Amino acid sequence: MTDAPQVYDTAVIGGGPAGLTAAIALAETGAKTALLARRAPYADNRTTALLGASTDLLERLDVWRRCKDQAAALQTMRLVDDTGRLIRAPEVRFSSDEIDLDQFGFNIDNRSLMAALEQRAAELSGLTRFDDEAETIHPEHADVSIRTGRGESLAARLVIGADGRQSLSREAAGIAVKRRDLHQSALTFNIGHTHPHKNISTEFHTPHGPCVFVPLPGNRCSVVWVSAPKQAERLMALGDDELSDAAEKQSHSILGRVQVEPGRNVFPLAIESPRQFAKDRVALVGESAHVLPPIGAQGLNMGLRDAADIADIVGQAMSIGEDPGSPQVLARYQSARRTDVLSRTFTIDIANRSLLSDFLPIQSLRAAGLHLIGSIGPLRRLAMREGLAPSWRRVS
């Protein structure tokens, strides 16, 4: 005789920021929720630029107050053409006060964000934590059976796959993914500097990708430097003083003297899109559902919108007695996420391709487009609002 596995309304597989946010949001709807993810210190010193709707969500979930003191406001965003090409775009500056906002959002180190999410998750009585990983996931007619690495069994009417690029949840649901290698890599590190950043994020566009300096509290910034893979590896191998000099040169010394802080990471860039966002009692969030290059601060912000949407849809379904893993509920999630994810992916891909292109007509179109955005107020304000959140999600 063996005990029947505990059955939950929802089970979240994966404990990154999107997964934790989904688990908290689902538990707050009243759904009996399991979170299957190992507790581990965040592995590196990367940061995230959280745009307005993301901080609003974290505030509603009682997370933001726990980490906002570790964040820097993003009030101005500059785009600077540093390609050195014959045809170059004019500088474009976006200011949050132009659309009546104190800031576009906040830049925060992921360690602080994760600590706040973990703290809030631990307080919720409707959220059961399994400090383990999923070993097998089997969608069945009435629920999804899950077996952990330590041999525990549980079941859920709906599984939220927040388990990243190599998603076991996605594989279990039979959802195919389309992947395209961008032949670019991103080097990430943090710096201290002698001049104040004045809450201005500056993105230098180079022939191999953007290099962005994003404010952190104090005279500090996070740096995301996108380049060709060999160049990224060369920069990664530099000593601290040499990388400091390289970063200062790339920033054109706008931040004064630069000093690299300990810790750096390099990772290859790709675009990944699943054929579906939900199938067979599995819904995907975060990097299980979309992988983008770090352009326009869209990746995690989209992941948090995934979390918000699945929680809203599940909460509404359960309030009228619907099965949260039913095809009808999954179809609503598919509909809610499809346009947002596909439109953002397309826009970022086109922006990246146009920057990398050596074809003069493409360079001319890019320069003309940025000139129009920079010089026409209503168009610039529309670009700012759409960059923060899709217009169809905003309530007037």
Lowest mean pLDDT among 132-136, 220-224, 367-371: 367-371
Going by pLDDT thresholds of 50, 70 and 90, the confidence category of residue 392 is: low
Lowest mean pLDDT among 21-35, 159-173, 337-351: 337-351
Distance (Å) of CA 28 to CA 39, 62, 63, 121: 21, 11, 13, 10
Lowest mean pLDDT among 231-235, 294-298, 299-303, 382-386: 294-298
For the beta sheet containing 92-95, the strands, ordered from the edge strand earlier in sequence to the opposite edge, are 92-95, 76-81, 200-206, 209-216, 220-227, 177-193, 258-274
Give pLDDT, residue 13: 98
Lowest mean pLDDT among 256-270, 292-306, 357-371: 357-371
Give pLDDT, residue 386: 79
Residue 107: closest CA among 60, 61, 67:
67
Q: Which two tokens stand for residue 244?
A: 């400091």
Give pLDDT, residue 294: 84
Distance (Å) of CA 127 to CA 12, 21, 283: 10, 12, 18
- Average pLDDT of the chain is 93
Please compute the mean of the pLDDT values over residues 360-388 and round it to a whole number.
Answer: 83
Going by pLDDT thresholds of 50, 70 and 90, the confidence category of residue 235 is: very high
Q: Give dist(CA 261, CA 27) in Å, integer.
A: 38
The domain 6-71+108-179+271-358 is placed in CATH, from the list 2.40.110.20, 3.40.50.720, 1.10.150.110, 3.50.50.60, at: 3.50.50.60
Please compute the mean of the pLDDT values over residues 266-275 and round it to a whole number.
Answer: 94
Give pLDDT, residue 319: 97
pLDDT digits (tens, 9 = 90+) for 47-72: 999 998 899 999 999 999 999 999 99
Domain ranges of the chain: 6-71+108-179+271-358
Over the chain, what HEC string results? Answer: CCCCCEEEEEEEECCCHHHHHHHHHHHHCCCCEEEECCCCCCCCCCEEEEEHHHHHHHHHCCCHHHCHHHEEEECEEEEEECCCCCCCCCCEEEEHHHHCCCCCEEEEEHHHHHHHHHHHHHHCCCEEEECCCEEEEEECCCCEEEEECCCCEEEEEEEEECCCCCCHHHHHCCCCEEEEEEEEEEEEEEEEECCCCCCEEEEEEECCEEEEEEEECCCEEEEEEEECHHHHHHHHCCCHHHHHHHHHHHCCCCCCCEEEEEEEEEEEEEEEEECCCEECCEEECHHHCCECCCCCCCHHHHHHHHHHHHHHHHHHHHHCCCCCCCHHHHHHHHHHHHHHHHHHHHHHHHHHHHHHCCCHHHHHHHHHHHHHHHHCHHHHHHHHHHHHCCHHHCCC
More confident residue, 391 or 149: 149
Going by pLDDT thresholds of 50, 70 and 90, the confidence category of residue 396 is: very low
pLDDT of residue 395 exceeding 50, the answer is: no
| Phi and psi based region of residue 366 (left: phi greater than 0; alpha: psi -120 to 50; beta: remaining) | alpha
pLDDT digits (tens, 9 = 90+) for 98-122: 999 999 999 999 999 999 999 999 9
pLDDT digits (tens, 9 = 90+) for 282-325: 999 999 999 999 877 788 999 999 999 999 999 999 999 999 99
Tokens 């054109």 belong to which residue?
252
Distance (Å) of CA 155 to CA 43, 141, 277: 30, 12, 21
Give pLDDT, residue 367: 82
Give pLDDT, residue 393: 54
pLDDT of residue 394 exceeding 50, the answer is: no
pLDDT digits (tens, 9 = 90+) for 118-170: 999 999 999 999 999 999 999 999 999 999 999 999 999 999 999 999 999 99
